[in-house]
């Protein structure tokens, strides 16, 4: 029997790694990537490592996207856009008022958070529609709220939401979700708040059961919060 196949971008850390761990432990074939080969290599330590195909690289690189297409090997049931850029590439802080954003900052964030997901989805769409699969983009409350200093990131997440749900409108064979996972205790979140104690934020592993519940219930395409779905234990989805 052919395994269900998922592609999770940015699977070497944070929520991406936690989702890769959960899906591979359930027996999914999980293709994932990351820009740091050494950190990506630590996926070998996961219990479901035999089900993981790790492809080092950057989703903004065309050759890397072709490598991801080859790795899914003709089947894709779930495409997760998790990889993203936090904020401007220049300067000492990721916070930046819009008036101070440079063209290079704009290009950097837009390419990672909107351009690459759009092009990667288009590339994989034939195999995703073939399985009547799910497109899941990790969004943020910043996509709908307006926080000073977050404008570039926030606008890119709003753009990601829009292209995700437009893919669903244009391709009724698939179901698409833009999901706000809520605050998490990740390195990315820490980078937003350098020097601050973020230990009160939940670990990304606590968000995964909510995402599994979303996938298990498969509501209509739309924007959701992960917290909208009661946490589903791995055993409940697998029927164990």
From its phi and psi, is residue 186 left (phi > 0), alpha (psi between -120 and 50) or beta? Answer: beta
* Joined tokens for residue 208: 């995964």
b/e per residue 45-80 (b: at least 16 CB within 10 A): ebebbebbbbbbbbbbeeebbeebbebbeeebbbbb
Q: What is the C-alpha to C-alpha distance for residues 96 and 62, in angstroms, rounded to an integer?
A: 29
Does the annotation count 177 as an active-site position? no
Q: What is the C-alpha to C-alpha distance for residues 75 and 19, in angstroms, rounded to an integer?
A: 19
How many angstroms separate the first and last alpha carbons of the chain? 18
Catalytic residue among 147, 153, 177, 224: 153
* Joined tokens for residue 167: 């893919």
Please identify which residue in the block is written with the tokens 């092009």.
Answer: 119
Q: What is the C-alpha to C-alpha distance for residues 153 and 169, in angstroms, rounded to an integer?
A: 24
Q: What is the C-alpha to C-alpha distance for residues 149 and 155, in angstroms, rounded to an integer?
A: 11
The angle formed by the CA atoms of residues 194, 196 and 202, to the nearest 5 degrees, is 105
* Joined tokens for residue 196: 């601050």
Catalytic residues: 153
């Amino acid at each position: 029997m052919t395994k269900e196949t998922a592609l999770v971008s940015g699977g070497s850390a944070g929520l991406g790694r936690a989702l890769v761990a959960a899906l591979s432990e359930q027996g999914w074939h999980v293709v994932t990537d990351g820009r740091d080969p050494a950190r990506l290599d630590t996926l070998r330590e996961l219990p479901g490592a035999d089900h993981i195909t790790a492809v080092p690289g950057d989703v903004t690189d065309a050759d890397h996207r072709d490598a991801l297409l080859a790795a899914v090997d003709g089947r894709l049931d779930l495409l997760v856009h998790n990889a993203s850029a936090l904020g401007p590439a220049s300067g000492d802080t990721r916070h930046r008022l819009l008036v101070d954003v440079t063209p290079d900052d704009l290009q950097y964030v837009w390419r990672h958070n909107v351009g690459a997901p759009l092009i990667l989805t288009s590339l994989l769409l034939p195999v995703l529609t073939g399985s009547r699969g799910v497109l899941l983009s990790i969004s943020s409350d910043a996509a709908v709220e307006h926080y000073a200093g977050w404008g570039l990131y926030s606008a890119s997440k709003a753009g990601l939401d829009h292209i995700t749900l437009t893919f669903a409108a244009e391709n009724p064979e698939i179901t698409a979700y833009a999901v706000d996972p809520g605050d998490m205790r990740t390195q990315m979140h820490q980078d937003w708040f350098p020097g601050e104690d973020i230990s009160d934020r939940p670990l990304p592993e606590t968000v995964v059961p909510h995402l599994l519940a979303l996938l298990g219930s498969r509501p209509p395409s739309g924007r959701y919060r992960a917290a909208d779905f009661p946490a589903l234990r791995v055993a409940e989805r697998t029927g164990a």
